[in-house]
Amino acid sequence: MRTPPNQQISDQMPGQGRAELLRLAGEHNASLSALSRLIGRNNSYLQQYVRKGSPRKLEEEDRHVLAQFFGVAESILRDSEEKSFDRINTAAATAKVPREGWVDIPRLPLGASAGPGAFGASEVPFDSFRFSADWLRRNGLGDARLSAIAVQGDSMTPVLSDGDEMLVDTAQNNLRDGIHVVRLDDVLMVKRLAQAAPGRITLLSENSVYPPVEVSAEDLTIVGRVVWKSGRL
């Protein structure tokens, strides 16, 4: 027997929780790939959840992280068909990842300029990202001293784009390979660093439009090393 046309349409539309996830992602200009990385999953995880219904439901801990990020109740991200399934698995899900297994990374109201330079604002956190402690350990960040700040400008494209969120390990504040957030004359910037002449450091951009800049090591403060980034596709 053929399925009625209206039933076919219903099956193809996302459930309530999936629809809310799409709506909230659009309102926050956050891609599903970036949100997948936020919860420690592969880039296509939430895309498959929304479009293909696989997984059938979000894990409790994943829903908690997303709800915290969007500033909404977890129930908004729950599909109606999940309710009975959730009741069966609540104990297992809770035991799998206890609440103390999460780390809140403070988001600072700073813009690390990947362009001409931006003056730092107050360093009092205005929000936080919640990461799995296990994910941090598996990525070598278990002992890191992390803060999250946003990229401003285009001098570090394609590695870092305007609006990307970065995790900065402020424990790594020595000159070494990698991309760092630095402060120069109260201007916060994100650049690659290279040793120049004795007592001099070269600030390198990824975008060839921006030439290298050589500065005195005494005038430069290395805030920390960029160890992770999330951004829109």
Write the pLDDT tens digit of every residue in 120-153: 444 556 778 889 999 999 999 988 888 888 888 8
Its CATH class, for the domain covering 5-97, is mainly alpha
- pTM, two decimal places: 0.53
Peptide bond into 211 cis (omega under 30): no
Give the separation between CA 31 and CA 44, rounded to whole angstroms.
10
Residues (pLDDT < 50) of the chain are 1-14, 81-98, 116-122
pLDDT in tens, 63-91: 888 888 888 887 788 865 444 333 323 32
Q: Please, are residues 151 and 161 in contact by the beta-carbon 8 Å criterion?
A: yes
Q: Please, are residues 213 and 202 in contact by the beta-carbon 8 Å criterion?
A: yes
Which pLDDT score is estimated for 121?
A: 44
Question: What token pair was written down for 105?
Answer: 């990374």
Q: What CATH number does the domain located at 102-230 have? A: 2.10.109.10
The angle subtended at Cα 83 by Cα 79 and Cα 89, nearest 5°, is 120
Q: If DSSP codes are grouped into helix, strand and coil, which group holds residue 176?
A: coil
Domain residue ranges of the chain, discontinuous segments joined by +: 5-97, 102-230
Instruction: Tell how strand 127-132 and strand 102-113 pair up.
Output: antiparallel
